[in-house]
Amino acid sequence: MEIRTLDDLVRFDPEKKQKIAVFDSPHMYYDLYALLPGQLQKPFAFKKADKIIYLLEGTLRVSVAGEQADLQPGQAVRIPAGAVNSLENVSNEPAVALVVVAPHPECAERKKRRKKEAGAG
C-alpha cells in the first residue's frame, strides 16, 4: 500500500523553495512545499487546474488575484483555475504546506497535444 509519512519527506534548501512530490498520481499533483523565511513562489496561474493549499507549519502570505492573506496552520485556501497567485514565507519560521493541483496539469497538456495531432492528421 502506498503510505507516506509527510514529516519524513520535508526538506529545505537555502537556495530556493522546495516542491516535494508525495505521490505520483496521474490525476493530480499532491506535493509538499517547504519554504524557509523569505522564500517565495512567484506569481503564476494554472489555466485549467484548481490549486488548494493546506498549511501544516509556519505562516504563508498568499496572494490570489490581487487579494492578500496570511495563512495559518490548519487553514486551507482554494485558488481557482486561471487565478494568478503567489506565496511568500514572511515569518521567521520555516513553512510547510500540502498542495493539491487537479486535474494533473501535464494531463491537460497531453490532451491538448493529442487533440492537435488528431487535428493535423
Q: Where along the sequence are the contacts to a copy of itself (CB under 8 A)? A: 1-7, 22-23, 25-28, 30, 49-50, 52, 54, 62, 64, 67, 69, 71-72, 74-78, 80-81, 98, 100, 102-104
Query: Whose Cβ is closer to a copy of itself: residue 28's or residue 36's?
Result: 28
Q: How far is the CB of 24 from a copy of itself (least distance, A)?
A: 9
In the bound state with a copy of itself, the residue whose beta carbon lies nearer, of 16 and 111, is 111
Would you say 78 or 113 has its CB closer to a copy of itself?
A: 78
State the sign of the Cα–Cα–Cα–Cα dihedral 111, 44, 24, 70.
negative
Contact between 17 and 58 under an 8 Å Cβ cutoff? The reply is: no
Q: How far is CA 58 from CA 63, 64, 116, in A?
A: 16, 19, 44
Rounded Cα distance between 96 and 80, Å, is 21
Could you tell me the smallest distance in angstroms from the CB atom of residue 80 to a copy of itself?
Answer: 8
Provide φ and ψ at 108, rounded to 5°. -60, -40
